[in-house]
Homo-oligomer: A and B are copies of this chain.
């Protein structure tokens, strides 16, 4: 174990042209493991069940992640309160516990700790810039105190709120990454990916990109548009992508949340490890060097990214000790027709069946065509009423 100080920082790595492998999304992975509640999606498990969070960090590290993001998604006080989280823990306690876990595991390998903030209910409810920035500031105080290595503003649907977040993060002096959860159509106010990227860079982000809401193919395409925008504006940045591990060819502007399958029937859309290798290659070819994942990513998905880029990086992740490249682990399978699958060509060409002959391959997204500021999006603390349900169903 090297002292944290001895590690190269995020910008040093990217400036040197290195590939940085991100981690996967914690809320979905821990929901499946039983520690996060779908709906609220809050990260109280950092304080409540640290052994589960620590284990997931370790699995991503072993899979090749160079970044341990603190498990602080939606850990702003306004969200924790709003989401009906029974206050066994304060926001501060959760944020602190998350930082400690991330640091503990990061120090077991070659990973940095990143503190993360994300979009707030306050912004959607049209609170003032000051109010929103105060929310961010509160989380960041913990990150500074716990001395994380860099900061990420992630999962913003409106570039304006992301700019505010970046401005607050910049006050720490730490490197800042900013990712929006948007697709090629742009943010929910219609700002194009290129323009969004320019605004984030101007606000001070050294790394910009996309996370969540869309599949890897769409995310890489959108980051490319960001890159073109930044370059056209004569600016410079590093690029990152942390997409879903779900295929979303049928999404509209608002991404996978509007899919009828969200969040409890997304299974048929889960990417295979081979889909992930394709993603890693395409991201790399697009000039993206911070390559990670978001909701749906399991450790083996991250390992697939690290394995695909092993030739460029010169090494395999620790977890590859338990994985034969391109199916080679099957070369001694009992059944000879399974042994015959131990080759790259086989897996690259395979079009996997869904096993669901009564289901279609694409869905029509929901969505009532509204965005920030609409009365329906004002935060409410009560459960959906019968009237609200009836009005739609």
- Are A35 and B268 touching (Cβ within 8 A)? no
- Are A31 and B350 touching (Cβ within 8 A)? no
Complex CA–CA separation, A379 to B333 (angstroms): 9
Task: Pick the most buried of A82, A250, A341, A343: most chain B CB atoms within 10 A of its CB.
Answer: A341
Provide the residues of chain B in CB contact with A363, threshold 8 Å.
Answer: 352-353, 358
- Within 8 Å of chain B (Cβ to Cβ): is A281? no
- Are B368 and A336 touching (Cβ within 8 A)? yes
What residue in chain B is nearest A247 (Cβ atoms)? B355
- Within 8 Å of chain B (Cβ to Cβ): is A327? yes
What residue in chain B is nearest A381 (Cβ atoms)? B332
- Within 8 Å of chain B (Cβ to Cβ): is A367? yes
- Within 8 Å of chain B (Cβ to Cβ): is A126? no
Complex CA–CA separation, A83 to B333 (angstroms): 8
What residue in chain B is nearest A351 (Cβ atoms)? B359
Q: Which of A25-48 contact B (CB under 8 A)?
A: 31-40
- Are B268 and A39 touching (Cβ within 8 A)? no
What residue in chain B is nearest A366 (Cβ atoms)? B337
Per-residue CB contact flags for chain A residues 355-381 toward chain B (1 = under 8 Å, else 0) read 111111111101110000000110111
What residue in chain B is nearest A327 (Cβ atoms)? B264
- Are A249 and B357 touching (Cβ within 8 A)? yes
Provide the residues of chain B in CB contact with A368, threshold 8 Å.
Answer: 336-337
- Within 8 Å of chain B (Cβ to Cβ): is A51? yes
Tell me, rounded to whole Å, the shortest Cβ–Cβ distance linking A331 to chain B: 4
- Within 8 Å of chain B (Cβ to Cβ): is A158? no
- Within 8 Å of chain B (Cβ to Cβ): is A271? yes
Complex CA–CA separation, A215 to B355 (angstroms): 10
A: interface residue count bin: 35 or more
Complex CA–CA separation, A215 to B393 (angstroms): 32
Q: Which of A68-89 contact B (CB under 8 A)?
A: 82-84
Provide the residues of chain B in CB contact with A335, threshold 8 Å.
Answer: 257-258, 376-377
- Are A300 and B32 touching (Cβ within 8 A)? yes
Provide the residues of chain B in CB contact with A144, threshold 8 Å.
Answer: none
Provide the residues of chain B in CB contact with A331, threshold 8 Å.
Answer: 39, 383-384
Which single member of B34, B323, B384 contacts A62 (CB below 8 Å)?
B34
Complex CA–CA separation, A82 to B333 (angstroms): 10
- Within 8 Å of chain B (Cβ to Cβ): is A248? yes
- Are B324 and A38 touching (Cβ within 8 A)? yes
Which single member of B36, B339, B356 contacts A322 (CB below 8 Å)?
B36
- Within 8 Å of chain B (Cβ to Cβ): is A319? yes
- Within 8 Å of chain B (Cβ to Cβ): is A191? no
- Are B273 and A333 touching (Cβ within 8 A)? no
Known: A84-B332, A337-B368. A360 touches B362 (CB 8 A): no
- Are A323 and B32 touching (Cβ within 8 A)? no
- Within 8 Å of chain B (Cβ to Cβ): is A121? yes
Task: Pick the most buried of A350, A353, A359, A393: most chain B CB atoms within 10 A of its CB.
Answer: A353
Give the 4 A-B residue pairs with the shortest CB-CB distance, closest first. A39-B329, A247-B355, A269-B355, A34-B319
**Mind listing 27 A-B residue pairs with CB under 8 Å?**
A32-B300, A34-B300, A38-B330, A39-B328, A51-B58, A121-B334, A247-B356, A249-B357, A250-B353, A262-B338, A264-B272, A265-B352, A267-B272, A268-B354, A334-B379, A335-B376, A336-B376, A337-B366, A338-B366, A339-B384, A339-B388, A340-B388, A351-B360, A352-B363, A353-B363, A357-B362, A358-B361
Report A's interface with B, CB cutoff 8 A: 31-40, 51-52, 55, 58-59, 62-63, 82-84, 121, 124, 215, 246-250, 257-274, 298-300, 303, 319, 321-324, 327-343, 346-347, 350-364, 366-368, 376-377, 379-384, 388-389, 392-393
